[in-house]
Amino acid sequence: MRFPCPDCGEPATRVASVCDVWLDSGCMPAAQWWHPAHNPGRFEQNFPADFVCEAIDQTRGWFYSLLAANTLVFGGSPFKNVVCLGHLVDDDGRKMSKSLGNVIDPLELLPEYGADGIRWYLLSAGAPWGARRVSFEAIDQRIRRDLHTLWNVVSFHRRYAELVDFTPTEGFVSDSVIDRWLLSRLHRLIGAVTDDLENYAAHLAVKRIADFIDELSNWYVRRNRRRFWEGDRAALETLAHALETLAVLMAPFCPFVAEGVIRELRGDAATSVHLADWPAHRPERFVDDELEEQMAAVRQASSLGRSARRDLGVAGRQPLRAAVVAGVSGWSEQIREIALDELNVVELTIGDQARLPISHQLKANWKVLGPRHRGVVNEVAKAIAAVDDPAVVTKLRDGQSVQLDVGGELVTVAADEVVIDDVLHGGWKIAADAGVTVALDTTIDEELALAGRQRAVIRHIQVARRDAGLGIQDRIRLWVDAELLAGSATIAGEVLADTVAGIEEAPDLPELVRGEGFALVRS
């Protein structure tokens, strides 16, 4: 290759040997500023870079050339943080490749799920340095679980806020225990997400936000539906604050969804979420470790209660007579009321394992007991079988030795010399996990059965109202089976019925909506 030199006009020829092009890429931190010939100040302000990111194949490419060139010239790494992205793979775990024909065209995903949905999936599908499976189904499931759930909560709030012409108030703080719990969880989230982003761990931040959305929807909103229905200002304020804060936390990952949340809550004239200050982390005012621990125990007890009911085939809406929750302590009265309602029981007992409806039968562990008490082994075995003191049972469970009266003499019995069998009282069902045990009295008398039927018909009526297109505040006239009339006041209050009568009195109207055990019409 020959061409005239632009300076002297003489023929110029190509140099025979040149450095590999990766040298240029490694010189990028200085070359972008024409350093050292020009802009020394700009270079010093930006070196080393805060963050670089590339796929795993660049470990022997750009990452290496950056390290090699800059360590040689400047004596150190040109970046403070680096993320090495793993490959995207198909459902079978194979790297996506045009030659394999398993590549998903992003232009096919975007119209279906949008940029926010795809970004959210890629951030939440695992650590960025690991291989991540990508498919339409996987993206759809994650979006439905997280983003659709969030939007349902936003729509829920707006629906009830419009009924009472609600406008959020700056600085409002509720004294309700479940509102304080939500604010505690929110400020714990603010601190954790802030730390994650400052440490370039966006995938951890997204997971925490997804977990919070689940808590918000499946615990806070579910537990407080009646408060929203009644227009409770504290509940509306607390949920609005949580959603607005969540929108700011999500803005780096889902900018369009976050903006949509703010506009749903504040209206189209609201200031953009991207102009909002980052939420202040105020643990000293809002984070309550004890309250969070108690609520976590209630949620665990609720889950165990549902598990026990499933095993028995007993519906969650069927009230039961009693429950015992063991392995928890220090519950406030408000926390206890939440547990009572969640377990759907008339009576609730809280305490240690000794409060459970269990009898303990002790017997000798002959393989261990025999060699140690050769002369009196039978007498010791009888003394073990006669134990009925819960304190002795507790010590043995804890691995401690106890002293038993054997023929007028105290004999030391070790824990490994005894086998303890737990016998559950009749009519009870137990579920346990992680140190918490829930026992339910499963005996259902006629009074409880009737209460269960009342709750079931309330649920069916609510579904019928929705299917008939009735609004939240629309009132109805109702007719129910005769056996349900005793609870007519409760039923009427739940379903907004002006009148409740026997179903045999229901008029033959074309607009009448009939269901199992009831009929209704708009008032």
Q: How is the chain split into domains, by residue range?
A: 18-85, 143-287, 291-355+427-444, 358-424, 447-522
Write down the pLDDT at residue 18: 73
Q: How far apart are CA 221 and CA 159, in angstroms?
A: 13
Q: How far apart are CA 383 and CA 380, in angstroms?
A: 5
Write down the pLDDT at residue 355: 80
Mean pLDDT, contiguous 10-residue spans, the chain (523 residues) = 87 80 87 86 90 86 90 92 88 84 88 93 90 89 96 96 89 91 97 95 96 97 94 95 97 96 88 94 93 96 95 93 92 94 95 81 92 90 90 89 91 93 87 91 93 93 92 91 91 93 91 91 90
DSSP 364-409: E-HHHHHHHSTTTHHHHHHHHHT---HHHHHHHHTT--EEEEETTE
Write down the pLDDT at residue 362: 93
Write down the pLDDT at residue 398: 87
Place of tokens 């993320």: 83
| pTM score, whole prediction | 0.83
Which residues contact residue 265 at a Cβ distance below 8 angstroms, ignoring those fewer than 6 apart? 154, 157, 158, 168, 240, 243, 244, 247
Q: Say if CB 192 and CB 127 are below 8 A apart.
A: no
Q: Rounded to the nearest 5 degrees, what angle is found at the Cα of 374, between the Cα atoms of 368 and 376?
A: 110
Write down the pLDDT at residue 25: 87
Judge if the upstream peptide bond of residue 36 is cis by omega within 30 degrees of 0: yes
Domain 143-287 is classified in which CATH homologous superfamily?
Isoleucyl-tRNA Synthetase; Domain 1 (1.10.730.10)
Write down the pLDDT at residue 139: 92
Write down the pLDDT at residue 456: 93
| Burial letters 464-475, b for 16+ CB under 10 A, else e | bbeeeebeeeee
Q: How far apart are CA 382 and CA 147, in angstroms?
A: 64
Q: How far apart are CA 10 and CA 212, in angstroms?
A: 72
